[in-house]
Amino acid sequence: MASFKPSVIAKPVNGGGDRVGLPHCNSGEIHVIIGPMFAGKTTALLRRIRSEGNNGRNVAMIKSSKDTRYAVDSVVTHDGAKFPCWALPDLTSFQQKVGDDAYEKLDVIGIDEAQFFGDLYEFCCKAADHDGKTVIVAGLDGDYLRRSFGSVLDIVPLADTVTKLTARCELCGKRAFFTYRRIEETKTELIGGSDVYMPVCRQHYVNGQVVTGAAKNVLESRKVQSESCVEAAAAI
């Protein structure tokens, strides 16, 4: 696998600090931030992106257009911090949306709620390997059934670093690794906040049905509501 290309020989040994000269001589990087909901993933991503921006690097943020919980054109954390972003249905369209020139000038690309992007692997490969970008990805590693969510875990073999953040268990305050769904709805992609999800520790995840009496009450009332809706619909 020996390579005699001058560009490879000229590549900086430290992984690329030369921001003035040839951008594509810099090698790209991929950093992945995972964890359950309410673990501060978006906050960590924003901090990294802001810090890169403060260091004079050109940054851009992408989020899924499926997630419109807080704002359409901003990434917003649960505690209200904001950053402008591109809300897109997929990542492949990003370069076209921003334009080739603007894409070329970008140093760092942040991706929030990465579990919603089916083309995450292809995008990260191209952006880091071929285009020399630093890509910082935040997303859920698992869904509410603790199954791998979207393509987030598929990019772990591509990554320079992987950080798993934890939340606080809403029931006991211990470290929470999982996202518990409070309501009875079985589709994987159900976008919601603390009304639908809560972070829980292992014990409370496993004992979920027993300990979440409050959640059950919500569930029961919703059931009654939806049954009466069905009845109303049937009556019409």
Size of residue set near Zn ion by CB under 5 A:
6
Q: Which is nearer to Zn ion, 206 or 224 (CB)?
A: 206
Host H or E run for residue 230:
helix 213-235
Q: Are the C-beta atoms of residues 9 and 18 closer than 8 Å to each other?
A: no
In 3D space, the residue among 146, 140, 208 whose CA is nearest the CA of residue 171 turns out to be: 208
Residue nearest to Zn ion (CB): 169
Shortest Cβ 222–Zn ion spacing (Å): 24
Is residue 198 involved in binding Zn ion (CB under 5 A)?
no
Shortest Cβ 69–Zn ion spacing (Å): 25
Is residue 140 involved in binding Zn ion (CB under 5 A)?
no
Q: Which is nearer to Zn ion, 172 or 191 (CB)?
A: 172
3-state helix, strand, coil in the chain (%, to 5): 35, 20, 45
Report d(CA 66, CA 192) in Å as an integer. 11
Q: Is 52 a catalytic residue?
A: no
Shortest Cβ 231–Zn ion spacing (Å): 38
- Residue carrying structure tokens 């003035």: 20
Is residue 72 involved in binding Zn ion (CB under 5 A)?
no
Chain Cα centroid distance, residue 26: 25
Q: Specify which residues 59 forms β-bridges with.
A: 108
Point out which span in 22-30, 55-63, 88-96, 193-201 binds Zn ion (CB under 5 A): 193-201
Site for Zn ion in 143-172 (CB under 5 A): 169, 171-172
Selected catalytic residue, list 29, 104, 113, 185: 113
What is the sign of the dihedral through the CA atoms of 14, 58, 77 and 123? Answer: negative
Is residue 215 involved in binding Zn ion (CB under 5 A)?
no
Shortest Cβ 184–Zn ion spacing (Å): 21
Q: How many helices (H) and strands (E) does the chain have?
A: 8, 12
Given the rule CB under 5 A, which residues bind Zn ion? 169, 171-172, 174, 201, 204
Residues belonging to the active site: 113
